Amino acid sequence: MVLLDTEPMTVLEREGPEVELLKVKLATVPLDDIGTTIISYEEQTRGWLAYMARMPTEEARIRAYVFLKRHVEIYCRVAIVQYDERSAAEFARLKQSKIRIGTMDLKIAAIALANEAILLTRNLTDFGKVPDLRVEDWSV
């Protein structure tokens, strides 16, 4: 399985050559083998809700709701892998080993490890600190 980190999921919400490159590369993977994590969904949704709360005008809020709807639709097209008991056990193991990356990234790594998945991310620096985590950057 290939799991998309939060950043590639953000790319899919945009338009332009960056998203087209990612789509071309994802097309080489069977659709049933592509997913993301519930943690990425949480991160992005929190960001969109904060963005919407800052909208000063009704026109801006309407535009923000268009973006929020696109966000939901993109997540509906991909499998969302749950943070479950196996993931929680991996998370606890990783925390005990004192890996110095953010909590949300550690949870994403734990989900990838628990599901023996490859994590697609640009953040090779942080995720590269996680032993046995398979990471790839498809943005290059």
DSSP-derived secondary structure letter, 133 = -
pLDDT for the residue numbered 20: 86
pLDDT for the residue numbered 76: 94
Lowest mean pLDDT among 9-18, 22-31, 40-49: 9-18
What is the distance between the alpha carbons of residues 51 and 45, in angstroms, rounded to a whole number? 10
pLDDT for the residue numbered 93: 96
What tens digit of pLDDT does each residue of 53-96 get?
Answer: 999 999 999 999 999 999 999 999 999 999 999 999 999 999 99
Average pLDDT, the chain: 94
pLDDT for the residue numbered 16: 77
pLDDT of 8 above 80: yes
C-alpha 7: how far from chain center: 6
pLDDT of 98 above 90: yes
Mind giving me the DSSP string for 22-62? HHHHHTTS-GGGEEEEHHHHHHHHHHHHHHHHT--SHHHHH
Going along the chain from its start, the domains and CATH numbers come out as 2-136 (3.40.50.1010)
pTM metric for this prediction: 0.93
CA angle 3, 134, 70 (to 5 degrees): 20
Residue among 52, 68, 71 at smallest CA distance from 60: 52
Are 86 and 114 contacting, i.e. CB atoms less than 8 angstroms apart? yes
pLDDT of 140 above 80: no
